[in-house]
Amino acid sequence: MEIERIGVLGAGTMGSGIAQVAAQAGFQVVMRDVDERFVNAGLEAIERFLVRSVEKQKTTEAEKKEILGRIRGTVSMEEMADADFVIEAVLEDLELKKRVFAELDRLCRPGVILTSNTSSMSITEIAAATGRPDRVAGMHFFNPVPLMRLVEVIRGFETSDRTVQVAIDLAQRMGKEPVEVKKDSPGFIVNRVLMPHVIEAVRLVEEGVASMEDVDKAVKLGLNYPMGPFELMDLTGIDILYHVTEYLFKELNKENKWVSPQLVKTMIRANRLGRKTKAGWYDYE
């Protein structure tokens, strides 16, 4: 089946980024969220990115218009029925993802491949919520999607070779560099490597070994990473770190290396009280 129209579920940080790169690659995109507010915020984020891109002369005004013209925001799940390929980027909650996939399975044509942008969770379990587990895979993009080149393509237990190949080809058409994760293992490649490193960074601060600023500085200058772990958490959001580490702890033999430090939980509580929108380690305002 020729892929012309891509359905994206979720208009948040990742969903809007995925919708943007798909539209930039020439696909028609339907981006669905549960509330108009979220849909509009996603569309505005895309427009802001493209306006900056025009200012930097990386995109022309005409291209910007064409890209925006290819993205339609909606709150209607039924609109997924016209999609030729679906990428899900709703919250990192397994039960929610299973519900969403069961609904997609009911709405989408039988040949349509359904993929999840989950950061860590079992593709096999998500696929089992559908009657087409061979046509379900992981497609893990990185934040910010328009700038980060990697996509991990993850094989669930029943994912077919063809599904993996179609997802790899699509990632390439979207200007990305895919890698294949051959087994459905929690956290895949990048988060499996990243999470213990981020947790140790928080522990260093919690134990008073070094300041947050110096941990970031040490990692950037000593390991030549472009961002420190605290800067990275501020970019990706601290709730995601927490959900991913909780899941890895549960799945990977309850080893201590996956346990979120108390300081992470305190920061999340502080954020919920409305202090910050991002992880909030640095006070940017």
Ligand X SMILES: NC(=O)c1ccc[n+]([C@@H]2O[C@H](COP(=O)([O-])OP(=O)(O)OC[C@H]3O[C@@H](n4cnc5c(N)ncnc54)[C@H](O)[C@@H]3O)[C@@H](O)[C@H]2O)c1
**Is 119 known to be catalytic?**
yes
**What is d(CA 268, CA 277) in angstroms, rounded to the nearest whole number?**
10
Active site residue 243: no
In the complex, residue closest to ligand X by CB: 12
Among 3-11, 192-200, 204-212, 213-221, the segment contacting ligand X (CB under 6 A): 3-11
Say whether residue 45 binds ligand X (CB under 6 A). Answer: no
Minimum CB separation from ligand X for residue 146, in Å? Answer: 13
Q: Which helix (H) or strand (E) holds 88?
A: strand 85-88
**Closest CB to ligand X among 210 and 271?**
271
| 140 annotated active-site | yes
Catalytic residue among 191, 231, 243, 260: 191
List 20, 59, 159, 236, residue binding ligand X (CB under 6 A): 236
Q: How far apart are CA 28 and CA 71, in angstroms?
A: 6
User: Residue 215 corresponds to which tokens in the numbers above?
Assistant: 């941990």
The distance from CA 68 to its chain's CA centroid, rounded to whole angstroms, is 21
Which of 29-62 are b and which e, b meaning 16 or more Cβ less than 10 Å from the residue's Cβ?
bbbbbeeeebbeebbebbbebbeebeeeeebeee
The only residue of 53, 143, 185, 271 in contact with ligand X, by rule CB under 6 A: 143
Catalytic, out of 122, 152, 243, 260: 152
Stretch that binds ligand X, among 6-14, 21-29, 152-160, 273-281 (CB under 6 A): 6-14
117 binds ligand X (CB under 6 A): yes
152 is a site residue for ligand X (CB under 6 A): no
Q: Is 149 helix (H, G, I), strand (E, B) or coil?
A: coil
Q: Using the rule CB under 6 A, which residue among 5, 6, 7, 13 binds ligand X? A: 13
Long-range contacts for 130-136 (Cβ within 8 Å, ≥24 apart)?
Answer: 130/101, 130/102, 130/104, 130/105, 131/105, 132/105, 133/157, 133/158, 133/159, 134/158, 134/159, 134/160, 134/163, 135/111, 135/159, 135/160, 135/163, 136/101, 136/163
Taking CB under 6 A as the binding criterion, the range among 11-19, 55-63, 248-256, 269-277 that sits at the site for ligand X is: 11-19
Residue ranges that bind ligand X, judged by CB under 6 A:
9-15, 32-34, 38, 89-92, 96, 100, 117-119, 140, 142-143, 236-237, 240
Active-site residue numbers?
119, 140, 152, 191
